[in-house]
Structure 1
Amino acid sequence: MAAARSLIVGVDVGGTNTDSVLLDASQTGNKAVLASYKAATTSNVTLSVQETLRVLLDQSTVDRAEISALAIGTTHFINALIERDSSRVEKVAVLRLVSYNFSAGTPPFADWPNALKRIVNGYSAIIPGGCNIDGQLIADIDPEAVREQANIIKTKGIKNVVIVGVGSPTDHKYHHEERVRDILKESLSTDVNFVLSRDVAGNGLLARENASILNASILNFAQRAIRSFMAAMKNIGLQCPLYLTSNSGHLLTFSEAMQFPIRIFSSGATNSIRGAAFLAGSEVGQTGCVVVDIGGTTTDVGYLLKNGYPRLAKSYTDIAGVKVNLEMPSVESVGLGGGSIIHHDADADDVTVGPDSVGHDLLTKALSFGGSVTTATDIVVASGDATIGFQKPELQDKLITKAKLKMKKLMEACIDRSKNAPDPCMIILVGGGSILCPPALEGVSKIILPEHAGVANAIGAAMAKISGSAELMVNGSDVEAGIANVKAQAIQHAVSRGGNSSSVTVLHQEAVGVPYTDNQVAIKVEVALPADHERVRQEMRQLEEQSDTEIEKELFEETKVHQIATNGEASSDEKIDYKTYRPNVSSMGVWSLSEADLKFIAIGCYILGTGGGGSPYAAYLQLRQVLADGHSITLVSCDSLKDKDCIVTVGAIGTPAVSIERGGGDEILHALNMMAKELNVEYTHFLASEVGGGNGLSSLGAGSSKHYGLPTVDGDLMGRAYPAFEMTSRYVYATSINELLPVTLCSGTGHNVLIPANQTDNTSAGIAIRDICVSMGMACGAAGVPLTGREMLDYGIPNTHSLAWRLGRVVSIAQQSATLSTVADALIEECGGPETAQRIFTGKIRSVESGLTKTAHSVGRVTIEALSEDEAENDADRSENWNEVVIPFMNENLAVLGKDKQGNETVLATVPDLIFLLDVSTGENIGVQEYRYGLKVTVMTIAPHPVWTTPRGLEIGGPGAFDLPYEYKSPLKYVKPRSVIEEFRQAP
C-alpha cells in the first residue's frame, strides 16, 4: 500500500526573489516536488509571501486542507537591525546574574556601536547569582534584589527583559535565569517579554548576552510579523501549522520563532544547502560534497556534510556591528551572479567580473533583455551556452573568452575554500544563476545540476526538522557515559520544541578537552527530530482565537523609522589615524595608556600568546571601561627601576573557556592583597607573569588608579605564553622551585590558598596549582613572590608590552589602510628584520586534531595546505618548497613541520621560537581554540629572548619540555624590542 502523502509548502524570501515549492515529503528527490513558483520580492515581505503562496497553490491540484505544514525562511528580522529601524527595534532591560564583581568591568552593551546602543539600551543592572562553567554555584540569587529591579523596569515602562546568568548554559541544578524570570513576572505586566540567555546561545557571556539583547529588541516586531504570516495563510485558505527556518537548517515552530527571531537571521544559505541535499539524494555519498548556489548578485558556497546539513562556522558572528555566538552556516561568498557587471576596456585586454551587480534589475538592464549593461548572463548567452532573454548579444570573442575564464576562476577559488580535503570534490549546483557554471571545473570531480535547482532554497525550508542540543562538562574517564547523558538531554530538548522522538538523527557529537585543565572534557550533542504537526496545529488554533486587528494592519502597512547618529555619536566614533598616532609618555617616563594603546597591546599580546594564553578581548573591554570611568592606567620602563623596588607578578590561571564566561572579577586583587599580607610588603610596581594572551593585560587593571594606582613594568617573565607557572625566566636562573614561591591563588569568591616555599621537589607545586585551580572552577587569580628592581633587571624580559604595542599597531594600520596583504612583511620589519622574524608559510587549514585522549590531553595537530595559484594574492603566498605544514600544539604552538610533495618532513621551527598563526582576512592572531577548517592563515615565527636558548632555558621551555623529539635549531636572532616609552618620551 502506498504511503500517505505528507504535503509541505516551503518558502524562502530572498533579496531579489521569493521562491515557493509544494513538496510531498513521503517522496524523495525530484519526485517530491509537485509545484514551484519564483516571484520578485516586494518591499512588503508579507504580501510577497501571500502572493507567491496564492500562485503556487492555484497552479497545483491539491486540496489546501491536505497541506501538513508551511515553512518560511526570511531575512525580514535582521534587516530591521541593520537598518536601525526604531519602529521595530525596541528598548531592552538587561539583568546580569553574577556576584563577586565577575564581569562587572564589562557591563551590558560594552562593545555595541553607539547608534544601535542608543536605540536598544533601556536599562541594565548586575545582581547576585551565577555558576561556574562546571556547574558549581558562585552565589545564589537574591529575591529581594530581583523585586527591586522589577520596580525599576516597571517605572521605566520597558517591555523587553533579558536575563543573563553567568554560567547559565551549564546551570542544570540551580536554574537561576528561570527563577529570576518567575519572580519578575509577579510584579511586571503580562505583556512584558522575557528572554533567557541560556535559551539563545552557549558559552561566552558577552556574545551570548549580545545575542539575547538583539533577540529581545525585535520580539514584538517578530510577533507581529509572524501573526501577519498567519493572516496571509488564512487569506489563501491554509489551515496548517506555520514554521520558520533557522540559521542552522532546522524548523522553529511559530511560537518559538516569536520568542527567538534571531535564529532566523541567516537561514537562506542553509536552506539552499539542505535543499540541494534533498534533490541530490543518494548521490551525496558518505563523505559529503560542496553546494554552489549562484544567485543574481553572489555565488554562495558551503560544504554539505554526509548527514545532510551544512558545516557550521565555529567562530563568533557579527550582526549589525554586534558580536554574537550564534550557529551560522560556514559559507564562502564571491561577487559572481547572473547580474554581475562585466567591466572591460575597448580591446578587451582588461576584463573584470563584478562584484557590482544589476541585481533584481537583470530583466530590464542586461543586454539579453534589451538593456544596456553587459552582465555575466550576457556572456553565457553570447557564447551560445544558454538561451534566455529577448536577444543574443553581439560581443567580442576575446571578451567572451576572458570573462568566462574569470568567472571560472572565481568559482573554482570559492569552491576550493569550502572543501574539506585537497582531492577533487563533487558539487551540487543550485540557484537561478546556475547557467554561469562551466561544464568542468578544476578541483571538481563531478557537477550535479538537479531538477528544480532554481528553488532549492524553498525545498530546504520545506524539508527541515526540529533540533535539540545539550552540553555538559565531565571528567575524562566518564566520556562515554557523559555522551549518552547529553544525547538524552538533547532529544528531550527537541521534543520540548515540537519534535517527535520516533526518529532521531544525531547531527553533531563532540567531546573536546578543556585547555589548561587536567582530564576535563566538554561534551556537546545536537539531534534532529521530525516535527509533530498536529501538536503545533493545536497551538496555532489557540492563538488564532485572539483578535487579528493588529495582524491585518501589519499585513498591509509598513512604515519604517530610521535613526540617525547624533553629533555626540559621530564624534565618539571618529577614527584615530593610527599611522600618525603618538602615545602619551611624560617627561618622567610614565606612559599613560589610551584606548588606542590598549587596542594595540591587546592585539599584540594575542600574537605573543603563540596560540595560547586566551583571547585578550574581554580584558581589553574591561580596561577600556576603566578609562571611560575616568581612571588612569600606566606603564614604566625597566630602566626606571630601583634596586629595592618591590615588583609583584600578576596573572590568571585556568582555561580560556572560563575567562570568556566569567571574566573580570576581583580574584587577582584578592591574590595581591593576600601576598602583601603574607610577606608584609608594600608594592611599588606590578608585572605581568606572561605577556602572551589575556595575561598580558592582567596587571594593568589591578594597577590602575581604580585599584592600587601603581604602574606596570614594561616587561614580563616569559616574553610569550607558556602553560606552566615554572616556565619563567626567573626559574631559568633559580636553583630551586622555592625561589618562585610563595604563590597565592584566589577564586574571587573567598576561596584563598597559599602555596608555600617549602617544596621538596620541583613538580609538586605545579601539580598543586592545577588541582587548586580546578577546585576553584577552573580559573583563579594568582600573585607570585615579588621581585626586586635588581632581579627584574637581571632576570626579566624587558619591553614586551612595547613589542605587543608595536605588533598591534602594525595590524591596526593594515586594517585601517586596507593593506592586510603586506601585514606579515610589516611585522617582520617591526620586529627587527628577517633575522629576527620570518614568514614560514601561507595556506589554508585542512584539518585540526584536538589531541584528546580518554584520560587527558596530548599534543594536537593542525595541518595547513598550500594555496592554489588562484588563492595566492602575491608571490609571498606561494610555497615552492612545502606542500603543507603541520603544527603540533598543546596549549600553545610547539613546532612547524614542513612536508614536500613526496611526503618528506622537515622541522622548520620549534619552541622556544614564538610560533603564531595570523588570520589572513584580519591580520590578527588565531588561538588554538579558534582553529577550524578552511581558514586562510600565515604562519610566522619570532626569535625568543636569549634566556630561552640557553641549555637551562631549553630544558624548561624547549621541545623536550613537551616531549617533542626535535632539537632546537633556529636561524633567528633576538633583537631587544624598542621601548615605546623612550621613543615617545616628552622632553623635560
Structure 2
Amino acid sequence: MVARKYRVGIDVGGTNTDCAILDLFEDHPRGQSVVAWSKARTTANVTDGIAAALGGVLQKSQLDPSSISFISIGTTHFINAVVEADSRKLARVAVIRLGAPYTAQCPPFLDWPESLKKIIYGHYALLDGGLQIDGQEIRPIRPEQLIEECNVIKSLGITNIVMVGIFSSIAAEGTQEEYARKIMLDHLGEGYNIICSGHVGNVGLLERENAAILNAAILPFARKTVKAYRRVLKQLGVSCPLFLTQLDGTLIEASKAAEVPVKTFANGPTNSMRGASFLSESDTSNTRGNESVIVVDVGGTTTDVGVLLPSGFPRKAAAFSEVGGIRTNFSMPDVYSIGLGGGSRVRFTEGNKVTIGPDSVGNAIESEAIVFGGSVLTATDIAVLAGLAPDIGNADLVQGKLSEEKISLAIAELTRMLESVIDKMKIHAGDVTVLLVGGGSIIVPPRLKGVKEVVRIPHFGVGNAVGAAIGRVSGEVDKVEIMAGRSYDGVLEDCKEEARARAVASGAKEGTVSIAEVYTNQLPYVSNQATRIIVKAVGDLDTEVIVDRAADVLEDAGEDGEDEQFERQPYAQAQTGNPDTARPVIIEKYRPEVTNKGEWILNETDLAWISEGCAILGCGGGGAPYPAFLMVRQLLREGHRVRLVDESYFENDEDVVVPVGFMGSPSVSSERIPSGVEIPTASRLLLKYAGVEKVGAVISDEIGGKNGIEPIALASSKHFDCPLLDGDLMGRAYPRMNQVIPCVYSDNGLVPAAGADGVGNCVIIPSTISSPMVETLFRSICTDLGSAIGVAMAPFTIRSFREWGLSRSVSMAWRIGRAVAECRERRDMDKIDEAILKVQKGKCLFKGKIVDVRREVRGGFTWGTLLCSNPNTLTIAPLLLSEQETVPSTSSGKIRIEYNENIRIVIPFQNENLQAILHTRLASSTRTGIRSLIKEVTKTICTVPDLIAVLDSQSGSAIGTQDYRYGLRVTVIAMAGNPKWTTERGLEVGGPRAFGINVAYQPIAPFEEVRSVIEEYRPTVSL
C-alpha cells in the first residue's frame, strides 16, 4: 500500500489554475518542500483547467495518485464575480425580512454599488416576524404573507431567496427563519434556494443580510463549480478528500463550502499571504527581518493586497469589511481587492485618458491579448511594450500598436492603481517591502512610490496553491448559554472543549488543536444572564484519518458537464464607478454651505463627518450611527432639507427646543433598526400633552453614537421642518437617561417625557419624584418593549439652553470626523490620535489589541481587582513584536513601540466606556532566585466624565462596545469632558461615583471650546 504523504494545493484563478504538490514530512528548506508545480489556463468549464494543472503536476512529479492524502482548492472565482459585477455568475435574489415595521426606513441594497444592485436585486418584502433581543417574538409569523410573496417570487422567475429575521443569529435552531423557510419551500416546490441569514453571519442585521444576499447570488455558480472540481478528480483517478480553503486560511469540506461560498470569498488572498510567508522563509535575499510586509497578489482579473505580519499570518480586518463595496461583518483578513490583473482591458478615451479594468479577458488571455495573437489590448500587452515582461508571448505582435506617449500613460495609470491600493493598506506613510505572488505579477513595475523593495519570492507564480496546501482545520461553537447560577469559566471551558472536538471531527489532528478565538457577549437587559459564546479552535489536518473520507470526491460527480457553466448567459459589463458615490472631496478646500441667516445646510459630506465624529464621541455607546446615517442620507437624496443653527440664530428667548433620542441597548440598534416612527410618535405625543404648538428647534439628547444622527431626521423637512440646534445635553454618550445636563441644574428636568416603540406602543410620564425615577420607569418600559424606544424629553426654552446647554456639539463631531477623513486621505492612520486630539484636548492612553472581553459575567477576572463595580470589561494588551508595524523615525530610521508583556489596560463599560485602568505586573526574585513573585499594581488613568474612545487602529473609526472582539488592533484616546460636568453637582450625576468607581476624578486635560462651524463659514456681511 502506498503511503499517503503528499498534499496538493490548487488555486483556480480567473486566468490561471495553479497546482503544487508539497511534501512536509521531509526535513528540508520550505522552498524545497514544493515537489512539483504546474500552471494551466483556467478554462470556461473550469474542469479542463483543473485537469490540465493537476495532470501536469502529477506528470512532472511522477507520483502515484494514491500517495496524495488530500487536495485543497482555493479560488477567486466567487469574489471575482462580485468585484466584476458579472451577471453570468450572479443570480437575482429576493429578500424577505421578518420584523415589520422595524427596518422599514433602511431597506436592503440601500448602500450597495449600483452596478451590483442592478444585477442582484430581484424583490423585497418586509413581513411580520422577528425577535427581540431576549428571544421573544416581535410579531408572530403570518403564513399567508409568506405564501403571497411566494406567488410574487414565482411570477418574477426568481429562484434564490434570502430570509432575514431580526436577531435570528442569536437564536437556537428551529426559529422563525427556519419556520418561514419551510413554509415557503412547501409552497414553492423544488428548484428554489432559501438562505437563512443566521446560518451565514452574526449580529448586525445589515451586514449579515448583505453577506446572505451575496451567498444566495453566488450559490448556483458555487454548487456547479464544486461539482466540477469533484468531476476532474474522478476523471484523473484521484481518490482523496476534497477541501476548499476559507477566508481565514482554514479548510472546509467541499460539500459544506458549496452551501456557504461567501466563507471562501477571500481565500485566494489569504492563501497567497500564507504561501508567501511559507516560501519567503527560504529566500535568503529577503532581509525584511521582523517587519510587516505588503503582499500583492496579481492574477488575471484582480489584484489582492494584504498585510503579512512577521508571525506569518495575515493582518485581521477592521470590525467591518467590504466585499465589492458591500459592507459585511465577517472576521476577514485585511485584504483590499481592485479590478486589475494581467488580463485587464486597457482603453484610451478622448484626450489620451486611459482606463485599466475592472473587466478582464481573464481565462481567454492567450487568445484575446494582442501579444498572444488576439485583438484586445490588455495590461499584459502594456507590460510587454514597457519591457516589464519581455519573455511573455510574441513581443513582435504588439510592437508599434501604441505610441510611446500612450505606453507611458498606461504604465503611469497601472502604477498609480498599484501605489494607491498599497497605500490604502498602510497605517503609516513610510516605505514598505512588497512581496509579489501570482502569475499576473509580471505587470508590476520594479519601482513604486512608497515601496522600498519589490521582492518576487520562490515559486511566486503558485503562491496561492502553496498556501492552499498548508491550510489547517477549524471547529467553531456559536451558542447562547444561560449563565444564571453557573460558573463562567466552567461554561467557557466546556465550549472550548466542544470547539476542539469539532475541529478533530473535521479532520484536525489531536494534540495540534489550539483555541484561536473566544468571544462572549451577555445579551443586555435579560434577567437570566443569557450569554452568546463563540469559540474557534484550529489544528493541523490529520492526513492519516482523512484518508477514510475519499468517498467525498466521488459524491455527486456525474458526467453531465453542460449544466455546469454560466457562460451561455449574456454578460453585463461591470460599470466603472458607482453613480451613488459623489466625487471625492478635497478636504482642505471643502467649505460647508452656511447661509447669511446662519443656517448650515447639511449635505452628504457633512453628514458622513458628523456620523464619524458622533461614533467617537459616543465613547463606545449611543448605538452604531451607520443605519441612522443611511436613513438620513436617503432623506437628503430624496430632496429633503436639513438646517443646523446655533443659539445666536434665535431672536426670541422663549422659542421651544425639543430634546429627543433613543434609549436602549447598542446591541439592539444594530439589529432591530428603527422603523422611523419612534421619535416622531413620541415627540408629537409629548408636544400635544405639553400644549406646545410651535417648535423652535430640535436637539439631540446626546451627541454620542446614533443619537447624534437620529434627531436630524425629525428636524428635516420630512417631519418638523425646523432647525437642528448645534448642541446636545451630554457632550458625549452616557448609559442613563437622567445623566443629561438639565439634571445637573434641576432635580426634575426630564418630565414630562414620552416614549414609543415601532409597533404602536406609546407612553407618557407626566411627573416623577426625581430624575433618577424617570430613568427607572423608562428603563422598565424599554426592557419590556425590546430594549430600544424613541424618547422625547421635557421641552425647554432657548433662554434655558443659553444658561446651561452644551453648545457646538455637532461642530465638534464634524471636526473630529474631518480629522479622521484627513488621516485616511494622507494614509497616516498611525497619527489618528494626534489628529483627533487637535480638535479636543486629551491624551492617547494605549495602543494594542483586544485580548479579552467580559460582558455581565462576574468572576474569573485574572488581571487585577477592578476599582469599580461594573462587570463589563475590555482588556487590551500591547502588540507582540511579530504583530507590530514599524514606524519611521528621523534619528534611527525605524523605531518600534516598546512591548511589555506585563502591562494591560482594562476598560470597564456599560453601554459606554467608564474608566481606563492600567495594570502592571512587577516581578521580584526570591532570595534563592529560583522563582519570581508577581506583584500587581493598578492605576486609574482616566474616568468619566472625560471621554474614553476605543478606535480601530486601521481605519480610525470608533468601535462600539457591542463590537468589541478579540484580536482587533485598537488605539485608546481620552478627551476632556465639558466643564459643566466637572462641578460638584456635575460629578455627582455623571462622575466616577455615579458608576460605583471608587476613585477621585482627575481631569485628563483642560477642556477647549471648539469653534462653531456656522461661525467659521458664515458669509461675511459687507456694510
Matches within 5 A, 1:600-679: 600-641=609-650, 642-665=652-675, 666-676=677-687, 679=690
- Asked if structure 2 preserves the Cα contact closer than 8 Å seen for 1:130 and 1:176, the reply is yes
The DSSP-based 3-state class of the residue aligned with 2:795 is: strand
Q: Structure 1 stretch 512-521 or stretch 846-855: which is displaced more?
A: 512-521
The DSSP-based 3-state class of the residue aligned with 2:810 is: helix
Q: Structure 1 stretch 461-470 or stretch 359-368: which is displaced more?
A: 359-368
1:857 maps to what in 2?
871
Matches within 5 A, 1:428-439: none
Task: Give the partner amino acid of 1:958.
Answer: G
The DSSP-based 3-state class of the residue aligned with 1:805 is: helix
Task: Give the partner amino acid of 1:845.
Answer: G
- Asked if structure 1 preserves the Cα contact closer than 8 Å seen for 2:842 and 2:1004, the reply is no
| Cα distance change on mapping 1:360 and 1:536 into 2, 3 Å | farther
1:37 maps to what in 2?
36
- Aligned pair partner of 1:322 in 322, 326, 346: 326
- Asked if structure 2 preserves the Cα contact closer than 8 Å seen for 1:303 and 1:330, the reply is no
2:563 maps to what in 1?
550
Matches within 5 A, 1:964-983: 965-969=999-1003, 971-975=1005-1009, 977-980=1011-1014, 983=1017
Question: How far does the alpha carbon of each residue in 1:536-567 deviate from its partner, in whole angstroms, 9 at most, with x for none?
Answer: 7666655234632334x67xx89994624389
The DSSP-based 3-state class of the residue aligned with 1:252 is: strand
- Asked if structure 2 preserves the Cα contact closer than 8 Å seen for 1:9 and 1:22, the reply is yes
1:376 maps to what in 2?
none
- Asked if structure 2 preserves the Cα contact closer than 8 Å seen for 1:248 and 1:312, the reply is no
User: Is residue 828 of structure 2 the alignment partner of residue 798 of structure 1?
Assistant: no
Question: How far does the alpha carbon of each residue in 1:405-433 deviate from its partner, in whole angstroms, 9 at most, with x for none?
Answer: xxxxx9xx999x9xxxxxxxxxxx99999
- Asked if structure 1 preserves the Cα contact closer than 8 Å seen for 2:14 and 2:77, the reply is no
- Asked if structure 2 preserves the Cα contact closer than 8 Å seen for 1:476 and 1:854, the reply is no
- Aligned pair partner of 1:595 in 601, 604, 608: 604
Matches within 5 A, 1:820-969: 827=836, 831=839, 837-838=840-841, 840-841=843-844, 844-850=847-853, 852=855, 854-855=857-858, 857-863=871-877, 870-872=886-888, 886=905, 888-890=907-909, 891-894=911-914, 910-919=943-952, 921-929=954-962, 940-962=973-995, 963=997, 965-969=999-1003
Displacement of 1:696 in angstroms is 0.6
CA distance in 2, matches of 1:362, 1:68: 42
Task: Give the partner amino acid of 2:323.
Answer: I
CA distance in 2, matches of 1:573, 1:820: 23
The DSSP-based 3-state class of the residue aligned with 1:194 is: strand
Task: Give the partner amino acid of 2:978.
Answer: H
Displacement of 1:501 in angstroms is 12
Displacement of 1:517 in angstroms is 8.1
Question: How far does the alpha carbon of each residue in 1:299-349 deviate from its partner, in whole angstroms, 9 at most, with x for none?
Answer: 8524869xxx9885461111111111123246899xxxxxxxxxxxxxxxx
2:308 maps to what in 1?
301
1:70 maps to what in 2?
71
CA distance in 1, matches of 2:83, 2:816: 33
Task: Give the partner amino acid of 1:96.
Answer: R
| Cα distance change on mapping 1:23 and 1:497 into 2, 3 Å | same
- Asked if structure 2 preserves the Cα contact closer than 8 Å seen for 1:882 and 1:900, the reply is no
1:208 maps to what in 2?
208
| Cα distance change on mapping 1:559 and 1:635 into 2, 3 Å | same
CA distance in 2, matches of 1:202, 1:899: 32
The DSSP-based 3-state class of the residue aligned with 2:258 is: helix
Identity %: 33
The DSSP-based 3-state class of the residue aligned with 1:162 is: strand
User: Is residue 473 of structure 2 the alignment partner of residue 465 of structure 1?
Assistant: yes
CA distance in 1, matches of 2:225, 2:246: 16
CA distance in 2, matches of 1:839, 1:42: 57
CA distance in 2, matches of 1:516, 1:70: 48
| Cα distance change on mapping 1:16 and 1:516 into 2, 3 Å | farther
The gaps in structure 1 that reach 5 residues or longer are 281-288, 334-357, 373-409, 418-428, 434-448, 832-836
CA distance in 1, matches of 2:554, 2:969: 50
Displacement of 1:655 in angstroms is 2.5
TM-score between the two structures when normalised by the length of structure 1: 0.74
Task: Give the partner amino acid of 1:675.
Answer: L
CA distance in 2, matches of 1:683, 1:28: 83
- Asked if structure 2 preserves the Cα contact closer than 8 Å seen for 1:291 and 1:430, the reply is no
1:112 maps to what in 2?
112
CA distance in 2, matches of 1:862, 1:278: 29
| Cα distance change on mapping 1:813 and 1:844 into 2, 3 Å | closer
TM-score between the two structures when normalised by the length of structure 2: 0.72
1:787 maps to what in 2?
796
The DSSP-based 3-state class of the residue aligned with 1:118 is: helix
| Cα distance change on mapping 1:15 and 1:84 into 2, 3 Å | closer
Paired residues, what number? Answer: 878
- Asked if structure 2 preserves the Cα contact closer than 8 Å seen for 1:650 and 1:686, the reply is yes
2:411 maps to what in 1?
none
- Asked if structure 2 preserves the Cα contact closer than 8 Å seen for 1:112 and 1:322, the reply is yes
- Asked if structure 2 preserves the Cα contact closer than 8 Å seen for 1:845 and 1:862, the reply is yes
The DSSP-based 3-state class of the residue aligned with 1:740 is: coil
CA distance in 2, matches of 1:451, 1:30: 16
| Cα distance change on mapping 1:912 and 1:475 into 2, 3 Å | same
The DSSP-based 3-state class of the residue aligned with 2:164 is: strand
- Asked if structure 2 preserves the Cα contact closer than 8 Å seen for 1:38 and 1:455, the reply is no
- Asked if structure 2 preserves the Cα contact closer than 8 Å seen for 1:293 and 1:301, the reply is yes
Displacement of 1:94 in angstroms is 1.6
| Cα distance change on mapping 1:67 and 1:977 into 2, 3 Å | same
Task: Give the partner amino acid of 2:232.
Answer: A
Displacement of 1:947 in angstroms is 0.8
Displacement of 1:851 in angstroms is 5.1
1:422 maps to what in 2?
none
CA distance in 2, matches of 1:303, 1:454: 21
CA distance in 2, matches of 1:940, 1:10: 45
| Cα distance change on mapping 1:973 and 1:331 into 2, 3 Å | same
| Cα distance change on mapping 1:696 and 1:113 into 2, 3 Å | same
CA distance in 2, matches of 1:119, 1:719: 44
2:88 maps to what in 1?
87
- Asked if structure 2 preserves the Cα contact closer than 8 Å seen for 1:742 and 1:755, the reply is yes
Displacement of 1:265 in angstroms is 1.6
Task: Give the partner amino acid of 1:544.
Answer: A
- Asked if structure 1 preserves the Cα contact closer than 8 Å seen for 2:885 and 2:896, the reply is no
Task: Give the partner amino acid of 1:301.
Answer: L
Q: Structure 1 stretch 870-879 or stretch 749-758: which is displaced more?
A: 870-879
| Cα distance change on mapping 1:536 and 1:258 into 2, 3 Å | farther
| Cα distance change on mapping 1:264 and 1:870 into 2, 3 Å | closer
Displacement of 1:203 in angstroms is 0.7
Task: Give the partner amino acid of 2:36.
Answer: Y
2:412 maps to what in 1?
none
CA distance in 2, matches of 1:801, 1:877: 39
- Asked if structure 2 preserves the Cα contact closer than 8 Å seen for 1:301 and 1:332, the reply is no
- Asked if structure 2 preserves the Cα contact closer than 8 Å seen for 1:726 and 1:766, the reply is yes
Task: Give the partner amino acid of 2:561.
Answer: D
Task: Give the partner amino acid of 1:947.
Answer: K
Displacement of 1:691 in angstroms is 0.6
CA distance in 2, matches of 1:322, 1:247: 16
- Aligned pair partner of 2:738 in 723, 726, 735: 726
Displacement of 1:792 in angstroms is 2.2
CA distance in 2, matches of 1:313, 1:872: 23
- Aligned pair partner of 2:726 in 714, 728, 738: 714
| Cα distance change on mapping 1:782 and 1:466 into 2, 3 Å | same
- Asked if structure 1 preserves the Cα contact closer than 8 Å seen for 2:437 and 2:461, the reply is yes
User: Is residue 1018 of structure 2 the alignment partner of residue 984 of structure 1?
Assistant: yes
Question: How far does the alpha carbon of each residue in 1:631-675 deviate from its partner, in whole angstroms, 9 at most, with x for none?
Answer: 333333333454444433212222222111111233334433443
CA distance in 2, matches of 1:64, 1:838: 67
The DSSP-based 3-state class of the residue aligned with 1:10 is: strand
| Cα distance change on mapping 1:516 and 1:812 into 2, 3 Å | farther
